[in-house]
Amino acid sequence: MSVGAPKIPVTVAEVTEVNDLIKRFRFVRRDGGPMPPFSGGAHVVVEMDDHGTRRMNPYSLMGDPADSTGYCISVRRDEAGRGGSLYMHHHVRPGMQMVLGAPVNLFALDARAREHLLIAGGIGITPFIAQMAQLEALGGRFELHYAARNRALGAYMPALRAAYGDRVHTYFDDERQLIDLPALLAGQPLGTHLYVCGPKGMIGWVRASAEAAGWPRATVHHEEFLAPPVGVPFTVDLAASGKVITVGASQSLLEAIEAAGVEAPYLCRGGACGQCETAVLACDGHIQHNDHWLTDDQKASGTRIMPCVSRFEGRTLVLDR
């Protein structure tokens, strides 16, 4: 069973410097045709050929889903990361040819919601830009609470204010402005759904506050893509394909499997969707489970691994792949 939709060959149409940390990229189809429609909250995997290293990073689509002329993403430069965002910032120019995966939505709006309460931190604003465009077109009710480190880094704030007026609320850390979450959560009408996208600390804070305020679990939505962490190189035995591979310090296990020519399923490449779940046949050592997919029991059992973000330390790891 394959879940693979056709990939989208694109040309980079525009590269825009949004602020010191963020660049926006716009892609159009190489054949000039329309992009597939998508739903607000969807992401695409951008394939990069970084001087011989294949990188595949997921980014939220931030354009208006009704605009089929192109896709837009925003990339925050991460100096300490493995290099995907640096490649996008330093090497991607208008006119370059790249490949995108088909859109996948792991952060969908709940269409039944009476109101959508959107809470963004920093670059976490991007999926909400697409969602607000879609809600506006369909007459959905929403309000956005968007926090950034300072005014200079508050990407897209003026445009969002211009488009949505007092439904957009902004907060700046360096001006000691904090979202008054308890009051905000207490004041929502019945049937409101809560969505949060931003740094790990913010997601935890919002989810814990909602739970403490008695919000049903199914009304609280979050999206957190993990960047695969760097680590110590390790060796893995791929039993099904009869190969032994070495995972480099700044390479993910999934990337190493792919680099060995072994096909492995994936969707989000960020530890969230579960698509790349792989059976562990033997393990003498410690699996560093970095994903949000496996349960604590599954992680403790050492019988499953998510190769997109998880690593290994020890003598032997044998996978059914």
Partner 1 sequence: MGLTFNTETFRGDFTFHNSPAAIRRFPFPFDRDDYMYSVNMEPHVPGPKGTVFEHNFDVDEHYLSEMRDRALVLAEDPLRCQSLPHMTLAGWDLLELIMESKARDYPDLFELHKNGNRWHWINRPMQIDQSFTFLDETTLPYGPMEYITRQAQGDFTLQDQRDDNLWIEAGMVTTQADWSLDFDIGMGFHEWHAPVPKAHELGVFDRALKFLLKLQHGAPVRRFNWTMTVDPLLDTSPENYPVWGPTRAMITPGNVGSRMHLRVELQTLHRLPRSNAIAFPIRCYLIRFDELVTIPKWGRRLHRVIRDLPVELATYKGFERNRATMVDYLARFDDGAPTSPGWMPDPE
Contact range with partner 1 by CB under 8 A, out of 1-9, 54-62, 254-262, 285-293: 1-9
Query: Please, what is the minimum distance in Å from the beta carbon of residue 202 to partner 1?
Result: 23
Query: Please, what is the minimum distance in Å from the beta carbon of residue 269 to partner 1?
Result: 13
Query: Please, what is the minimum distance in Å from the beta carbon of residue 138 to partner 1?
Result: 7
Tell whether residue 122 is a contact of partner 1 (CB under 8 A).
no
Amino acid at 95: G
Contact range with partner 1 by CB under 8 A, out of 51-59, 92-100, 132-140, 159-167: 132-140
* Residues 6+ positions from 72 with CB-CB distance below 8 Å: 24, 25, 26, 27, 61, 62, 63
Contact 191, 115 (CB under 8 A): yes
Taking Cα atoms as reference points, which of 36, 37, 202 lies closest to residue 122?
A: 202
* Residues 6+ positions from 38 with CB-CB distance below 8 Å: 61, 65, 103, 105, 130
Query: Please, what is the minimum distance in Å from the beta carbon of residue 137 to partner 1?
Result: 7
Tell whether residue 188 is a contact of partner 1 (CB under 8 A).
no
Tell whether residue 112 is a contact of partner 1 (CB under 8 A).
yes
Nearer to partner 1, 7 or 149 (CB): 7
Quick one: which of 65, 228, 231, 307 contacts partner 1 (CB under 8 A)?
65
Element (H, E) at 280: strand 278-288
Tell whether residue 225 is a contact of partner 1 (CB under 8 A).
no
In DSSP notation, 293-308 reads: SS-HHHHHHT-EE-TT
Q: Report the distance separating Cα 199 and Cα 119, nearest Å.
A: 11
Q: Report the distance separating Cα 169 and Cα 252, nearest Å.
A: 38
Residue 150, φ and ψ in degrees, nearest 5: -155, 175
Tell whether residue 267 is a contact of partner 1 (CB under 8 A).
yes
Q: Report the distance separating Cα 169 and Cα 177, nearest Å.
A: 11
Contact range with partner 1 by CB under 8 A, out of 81-89, 100-108, 160-168, 293-301: 100-108
Contact range with partner 1 by CB under 8 A, out of 2-10, 14-22, 48-56, 184-192: 2-10
Quick one: which of 12, 13, 96, 102 contacts partner 1 (CB under 8 A)?
102
* Residues 6+ positions from 177 with CB-CB distance below 8 Å: 147, 171
Tell whether residue 1 is a contact of partner 1 (CB under 8 A).
yes
Tell whether residue 279 is a contact of partner 1 (CB under 8 A).
no
Q: CA-CA distances (angstroms) from residue 158 to 20, 138, 168?
A: 16, 23, 10
Residue 226, φ and ψ in degrees, nearest 5: -95, 140
Tell whether residue 108 is a contact of partner 1 (CB under 8 A).
yes
Tell whether residue 37 is a contact of partner 1 (CB under 8 A).
yes
Tell whether residue 179 is a contact of partner 1 (CB under 8 A).
no
Residues in touch with partner 1 (CB under 8 A): 1-6, 36-39, 41-42, 65, 102-105, 108, 110-112, 134, 137-138, 218, 267, 273-275
